[in-house]
Copies of this chain bind each other. A is one copy, B any other.
Amino acid sequence: MVKKDKPKYKQIINAAVIVIAENGYHQAQVSKIAKQAGVADGTIYLYFKNKEDILISVFQEKMGIFVSKLEEIISRELTASTKLGLMITSHFELLASDIHLAIVTQLELRQSNHDLRLKINNVLREYLKLMDKILIKGMEDGEFDIEMDIRLARQMVFGTMDETITTWVMNDHKYDLVELAPQVHRLLLKGMQA
């Protein structure tokens, strides 16, 4: 059994999400995370190399859920446009169901330093690659404009989703994010359709 499978590993990850969401990135001291996780400060360092390692792991573990979900969607027998819709919906659902996580990914983790952000971007890249698969399939199948720049299209899709979620979080999630998914889907679809 490796470290990541031990119960305390996930315990600390989850504690970190809560502490960062409730206190903000810069007020999320290791001792607070340890306390929230119900372990001693030193125990943190049996599972993580340093504080940065906790934060990257938070992102990896949680982003992993998005990636798995997206892989599952892609593997299904559906049109690219339907897949796009499912991706948006499930992305919104996951964050709407875990406000703490939404705060952390949309606001707090972006305050991290350059190095950490580079590492986070590596994790993100995997997600964006899957997104590209949908776009390419849509272009090949004649659903999406064959002439469109794949990078720009991806930036539109991700940028729109990201901006929508961030706005929702900054407005204290006082409206229903998931309800917006169909409209976002329609908007993006129009932009990309053949």
Contact = CB atoms under 8 A, between A and B. Distances in A.
A158 interface: yes
Interface in A103-151: 107-108, 110-114, 117-118, 121, 145, 148-149, 151
Interface residues of A, number: 39
Contacts of A117: 107
Contacts of A38: none
Given A107-B117, A188-B191, A193-B190, A156 B156 contact: yes
B164 A163 contact: no
B114 A24 contact: yes
B160 A164 contact: no
A131 B84 CA distance: 27
B170 A164 contact: no
A158 B152 contact: no
A63 interface: no
A73 interface: no
23 contacts: A25-B113, A26-B113, A107-B114, A107-B117, A108-B114, A110-B111, A118-B170, A148-B187, A149-B180, A151-B167, A152-B160, A155-B164, A156-B156, A156-B160, A156-B188, A158-B163, A159-B159, A159-B160, A159-B161, A187-B191, A187-B192, A190-B192, A191-B192
Nearest to A128: B167
A153 interface: yes
